[in-house]
Amino acid sequence: MANSVGDIGVSLSRQKQVLIGSILIAGLCSIIYELLISTTASYFLGDSVRQFSLTIGIYMAAMGLGSWLSRWIKGDLLSAFIGVELILGVIGGLCVPFMYLAYAYTDLIQPVMVLLILLVGTLTGLEVPLLTRILEHEDILARNLSNVLSLDYLGALLATLAFPFLVLPFMGVFQSSLAFGLLNIALGLLNLWYFSPQLNLSRKRILGWAGFLVTAFLALMLIFSKGLLDYWSSSLYSDRVVHRQQTPYQTIVMTQYKDDLRLFLNGNLQFSSVDEYRYHESLVHIPLSQHPAPSRVLLLGAGDGLAVRELLKYPEIEQVTLVDLDPAVVELAANDARLVELNRGSLSDDRVTVVSADAMVYLDETREPFDVILADLPDPNNVSIARLYSREFYRLVRQHLAPGGIFTTQATSPYFATDAFWSIASSLEAAGFESVTPYHVPVPSFGDWGFVYASTAPLTPQPIEVMTRYLDQAVVGEALTFEKDLFPTSEAKVSSLDRPVVHEYYLEGWSYWH
């Protein structure tokens, strides 16, 4: 009799362990789904702060809805919990594929995102009350609730740590979605197998067949995920995709049509090989011609090596330090034959030093002065990048300029995002630069594109003495002239870390054209 009681006690203890372990895995999977949804939305829609804010708010509200709905679930709670896990695994596993489809073939990417968050959040909200009620025969309610919540929160912590360091770098958003969907389904099937003697036979069969079918479906999608990604990527880009790579920082895609090689980061065009020389010559040679003897140059961004190619035309330049956040971009530009041909192997030059770091962090940590600093950074389409167009960032840049030094930044389009362009110029003036000169050139792939160069001393335009394909003195003169409709209707505000108005201006300006 004593042994029977002991066996029952051990059995109940093991059941509790299985359920407790289920809480941990379920909490991890749910947070991973939300991170995948918001990250994918940021790739397609930009404005990461908005996407993550929407995700957190809707997810928490949906969890509350799920908790409230759980009161209506009565009877076989184990079957209900297993069913929730299977459904959550399917929806979570397919959340990224659904968003790819919505972006590629419809204009409903934002509604689809919201719907997915609602579904995942509601199902997640059902888990904690169900598990708490299942465990109620094991211990008092307060202890059960604390156990369930603590394990759920621990799972969330593990998810937030694993996502940026393991999940995204090694699998990318598409495969991660399918893999964690399978993990969620496996969790449901584990509970189905372990608690099989306690379940109704008909429900057990239904759950078993459902689990088998959805596992097979997601497994097949995972096996053929590369082909699916190639197909959907081709639908997202007008030309043939010749390279696709997911890094911890972004999605890198290269396309090619005949002689036109294009690079995209998170879906945003970085250059087209047919006209990139217009952009890079304007970024580099207009400011460089103003400096009498540029020997040390700092290049922020520009991991593709194209701006470096233009810098190396100056024999007096002894050192080029390239600081790019994503080492994968630099590695691609240094090793891909198509890019090496385009940038003329500039990243292999002995004068070039590559540093993988955030531009602002690098400037904060280094004390080295530079004669010229060039910022070839992405547009301020999210708050994280907008800080690199702030008054505070430009003050940091100014501190690293040697006497007579010059700074130049790309400044988006004065036509498409007029207020953002002039806000950048205003922010440079507010940072203490004495001479601030905006200019713009036509780049067919981008339209009318703007730049601003600045110095702590007055500058006078000088002739460009290196070989160029596009720039000459007549073009430079036109670049310094702005038509009436390229000026803002009111004074553009200074962008700061606290109030990144350049981001607001940018979104407002481009929203119509997108």
> How does pLDDT run along the chain (514 residues), one tens digit per residue?
444 434 434 444 677 778 778 888 988 999 999 999 998 888 787 777 788 899 999 999 999 999 999 988 888 888 999 999 999 999 999 999 999 888 888 888 899 999 999 999 999 999 888 887 887 655 544 455 666 677 778 888 999 889 888 888 788 889 999 999 999 999 999 999 988 888 888 888 999 999 999 999 999 999 998 888 777 777 778 788 899 888 888 889 999 999 999 999 988 899 999 999 999 999 999 999 999 889 999 999 999 999 999 999 999 999 999 999 999 999 999 999 999 999 999 999 999 999 999 999 999 999 999 999 999 999 998 888 999 999 999 999 999 999 999 999 999 999 999 999 999 999 999 999 989 999 999 999 999 999 999 998 887 778 899 999 999 999 999 999 999 999 988 899 999 999 999 999 998 888 776 5
Active-site choice (376, 379, 419, 448): 376
pTM: 0.80
- Whether 229 and 244 have beta carbons less than 8 Å apart is answered as yes
List CB contacts of 402: < 8 A, sequence separation 6 or more: 296, 369, 370, 371
Task: Tell me, yes or no, if 485 is annotated catalytic.
Answer: no
359: annotated binding-site residue?
yes
Q: What number does CATH give the domain 2-231?
A: 1.20.1250.20
Q: How far is Cα 252 from Cα 304, in angstroms, rounded to an integer?
A: 11
Q: What is the pLDDT of residue 3?
A: 47
C-alpha distances out from residue 298 to 67, 138, 185, 339, 422, Å: 54, 64, 51, 21, 24
Q: What is the pLDDT of residue 1?
A: 45
239: annotated binding-site residue?
no
Please state whether beta strands 251-257 and 240-246 pair in parallel, antiparallel, or not at all (unpaired): antiparallel
Q: Where are the domains of the chain?
A: 2-231, 238-269, 275-513
What is the arrangement of strands in the sheet containing 240-246, beginning at the earlier edge strand?
A: 240-246, 251-257, 260-265, 268-272
Helix (H) or strand (E) holding 240: strand 240-246
Q: What is the pLDDT of residue 21?
A: 82
358: annotated binding-site residue?
yes
Q: What is the pLDDT of residue 7?
A: 42
Q: How many residues are present in the chain?
A: 514
Nearest to 370 by CA among 255, 288, 265, 266: 288
In angstroms, what is the C-alpha Rg of the chain?
A: 28
List the structure tokens of 15: 């059941």
Q: What number does CATH give the domain 275-513?
A: 3.40.50.150
Bridge partners (DSSP) of residue 255 are 241, 262
324: annotated binding-site residue?
yes
